[in-house]
């Protein structure tokens, strides 16, 4: 396995660790189930929901929120790095 392929494998593992393999949400307009993708699949979304349930509105950020933002930032950067390497067939 070459260096680029090795990097792709590690980035794919990081993406898998920070996101769900498959997730669905209800479309607020149609009520239909829609498959989530991209940043919606990141585990940071669940941390945001937990934080919003635990805190009254208007309070400042918490540790949960800070961790969520760090995870989201890392996820976006990992996806960008994976995209910069191109696909496996090129």
Q: How confident is the model at residue 57 (pLDDT cuts 50, 70, 90)?
A: low
pLDDT at residue 84 tops 90 = yes
pLDDT on residue 88: 59
Token reading at 48: 């945001």
pLDDT score of 61 more than 80: no
The DSSP annotation for 21-43 comes to S--EEE-TTT--EEE--GGGGBT
Q: What's the mean pLDDT in 34-56?
A: 84
* pTM of this prediction exceeds 0.95: no
| Cα→Cα distances 23→39, 41, 60, 75, Å | 11, 7, 29, 16
pLDDT value, residue 75: 95
Interval 14-22 mean pLDDT: 90
Q: Which two tokens stand for residue 43?
A: 């585990």
């Amino acid at each position: 396995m070459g260096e680029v392929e090795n990097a792709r494998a590690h980035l794919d593992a990081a993406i898998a660790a920070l996101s769900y393999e498959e997730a669905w949400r209800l479309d607020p307009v149609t009520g239909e189930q829609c498959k989530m993708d991209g940043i919606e699949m990141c585990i940071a979304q669940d941390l945001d929901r937990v934080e919003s349930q635990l805190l009254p509105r208007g309070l400042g950020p918490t540790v949960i929120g800070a961790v969520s933002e760090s995870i989201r930032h890392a996820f976006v950067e990992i996806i960008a790095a994976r995209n910069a390497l191109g696909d496996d067939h090129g």
